[in-house]
Amino acid sequence: MKFTLKALSLALVASASTVTFADEAPSLPLGLEFSGSTAMTTDYRFRGLTQTLSDPAVQVGFQLDHSTGLYAGVWGSNVDFGGDSAHLEVDPYIGYAKTFENLPGAPTLDVGVWYYGYPGYSETNFIEYYAGLGFEGLVAEGDSLSTSVAYSSDWLGAGYNSWYYGLGYTMPFGSSGFGGVVSVGYSDFEKNYSENYWDWKAGVSYEFKSIEGFGAELAAVGSDVDTSGWSHRAKRGVETGAVFTLTKSF
């Protein structure tokens, strides 16, 4: 994701960037709560692949939750795919999350729809449907395990089917403020569109006790995409590399 279970949809991009929403958001009338985050990262990786030609990105997200479990939000980042392509990504989404507190691990079921939008380059816009199941406190206090699946019938506006399967785990290292994060995912594309591939992430996070909602993460992110014949710069954007991210949630 570095995400709350009531916003499990963000696990779908956890392998790409760090997005964090505050656990204690300000209360609003009518059972509503507002939360958000800002982040700076050395490379926006989406499912293991750079979205900024391995350059830094600034990312902002806002979310509105209702006491019924319904939520909606928008997330954005600068992007760069080279040449005359998109330079901004703006993703609105809507979903529903339900936590079963009486079951072991307090599982949270999360389903929704995510729209990937690229202003000025709308031919690559597409919709993805996702579902996830998250658990807390399975191995140690404060840890979380997330599973997710996403489907699109029009991947990158090309009219092809795609599936994504994700698995992530985070665990705090006692009360030190440090924690570990690992995730793995598999992208399954329709035949004749693209080769399927794995992506992964493994790193260490830190939450600053002196500044509420402020955290850092250093992770190795990569994929097994076949880079035969690619340029050095292109290979750098999909092979395993270090990504450093600072995040402030509110």
- Provide the CATH number for the domain around residue 118: 2.40.160.40
Give the residue-averaged pLDDT of 70-77: 98
Task: Report d(CA 207, CA 204) in Å as an integer.
Answer: 10
**Under 8 Å between Cβ of 188 and 170:** no
Q: What residue numbers bound the domain in which 66 lies?
A: 5-249
Give the residue-averaged pLDDT of 207-215: 95
- Residue 14 is predicted with a pLDDT of 39
Q: Is the pLDDT of residue 118 over 50?
A: yes
Q: Is the pLDDT of residue 212 over 80?
A: yes
The 8-class DSSP code of residue 48 comes to: T
Confidence of residue 24 (pLDDT cuts 50, 70, 90): low
Residue with tokens 């979205």, as numbered in its chain: 51
Task: Report d(CA 150, CA 185) in Å as an integer.
Answer: 11
Task: Report d(CA 144, CA 132) in Å as an integer.
Answer: 13
> Amino acid letter at 126?
F
- Residue 7 is predicted with a pLDDT of 36
Q: Which long-range contacts (CB under 8 A, 24 or more apart) does 86-90 make?
A: 86/118, 86/119, 86/120, 86/121, 86/124, 87/120, 88/118, 88/119, 88/120, 89/51, 89/116, 89/117, 89/118, 90/117, 90/118, 90/119
Q: Give the angle subtended at the CA of 201 by the CAs of 63 and 60, to the nearest 5°.
A: 25
| Residues 236-247 pLDDT 10s | 999 999 999 999
Max CA distance (Å), the chain:
57
- Residue 2 is predicted with a pLDDT of 28
Confidence of residue 17 (pLDDT cuts 50, 70, 90): very low
Confidence of residue 28 (pLDDT cuts 50, 70, 90): confident
- Residue 238 is predicted with a pLDDT of 97
Task: Report d(CA 57, CA 74) in Å as an integer.
Answer: 17
Q: Is the pLDDT of residue 10 over 50?
A: no
- Residue 25 is predicted with a pLDDT of 54
Q: What is the mean pLDDT of the chain?
A: 90
- Residue 12 is predicted with a pLDDT of 40
Neighbours of 209 (CB within 10 A): 10
**Under 8 Å between Cβ of 125 and 118:** yes
- Residue 26 is predicted with a pLDDT of 58
Task: Report d(CA 29, CA 192) in Å as an integer.
Answer: 51
Would you call 246 helix, strand, or coil by DSSP?
strand
- Residue 29 is predicted with a pLDDT of 83
In angstroms, the first-to-last Cα distance of the chain is 16
Percent of the chain with pLDDT over 90: 82
Q: Is the pLDDT of residue 67 over 90?
A: yes
Token pair for 238: 């999909």
Q: Is the pLDDT of residue 124 over 90?
A: yes
Q: Which long-range contacts (CB under 8 A, 24 or more apart) does 233-238 make?
A: 233/53, 233/54, 236/50, 236/54, 237/43, 237/49, 237/50, 237/53, 237/54, 238/48, 238/49, 238/50
| Residues 86-100 pLDDT 10s | 999 999 999 999 999
| Residues 36-61 pLDDT 10s | 999 999 999 999 999 999 999 999 99
- Residue 3 is predicted with a pLDDT of 30
Q: How many domains does the chain have?
A: 1
